[in-house]
Amino acid sequence: MGITYKCLIIDDEKPAHQVLLSHIKQCEDLECIGHAYSGKEALTFLQTNEVDILFLDINMPLVSGLELLEMLPVKPTTIVTTAYSEFALESYQNDAVDYLLKPISFSKFLKAVEKAKIFCKERKDNIKKSLPHSVLVKEDGFDYFIDMNDIIYIESAGNYIKIFTKSRRKSYFVYGSLVGFKTELTGEEFVQIHRSFIINKKHIKERFMSKLVLVNEDEVPIGRKYQILLDQ
């Protein structure tokens, strides 16, 4: 599956929402996950939802689009949509990646979205570079960078995997395969000990003939053909 970019439309006028939603629906890699008709609504939404791309109107009552951007500690990639050209410079100063004047044609929309996707990718790549011994996973639409030293073990669960860590009470439940995730792991400490389990040897508490007890007290089986890998 390719990347899907989650979008939020913020505008106090319903026709503007309809136009942008129509454009979004024509793009397979875009998904509109919400609508906000004021800056206050947008703030509430952004507190509990991860958004990749904002389509943000400037001229809104109470809290303008630019005021909203200034209030956000972490800004999603933002495309400004407005009927007023005089806010362009201030929009770019607030890190908007593009500035679309209404009415917004589909061709101009696509050009702005391509810029936004490049910006989204560069942001994630930069975060990854700053966390070299980490792995990026997506759970319930949110991105998480997990420190590999924190991983206790990984368990296959059908089309998903469960990632158990020391710092999180519950496991991460992530779409993917054990084999696929294994390619993301670096370091000799990760060993597959069963067709359904990969463990971090650093977190073994006790070892028996047919099972391991890990630091979180979970017990995992050792497959017969995998036993030799534990001794390497």
The predicted-structure confidence for 91-104, as pLDDT tens digits, reads as follows 777 778 999 999 99
Average pLDDT for 100-115? 94
Average pLDDT for 207-230? 88
pLDDT tier at 66, thresholds 50, 70, 90: confident
Position 181 pLDDT exceeds 60: yes
Average pLDDT for 27-50? 90
Strand order in 219-221's β-sheet? 204-207, 211-214, 219-221
Average pLDDT for 159-164? 93
Q: What is the CATH number of domain 134-230?
A: 2.40.50.1020
What confidence score (pLDDT) does residue 130 get? 65
Q: Does domain 5-130 have CATH number 3.40.50.2300?
A: yes
Residues of the chain with CATH 3.40.50.2300: 5-130
Position 133 pLDDT exceeds 60: yes
Average pLDDT for 175-195? 87
| CA separation for the pair 180, 215 (Å, rounded) | 25
Position 136 pLDDT exceeds 90: no
Average pLDDT for 154-167? 92
Residues of the chain with CATH 2.40.50.1020: 134-230
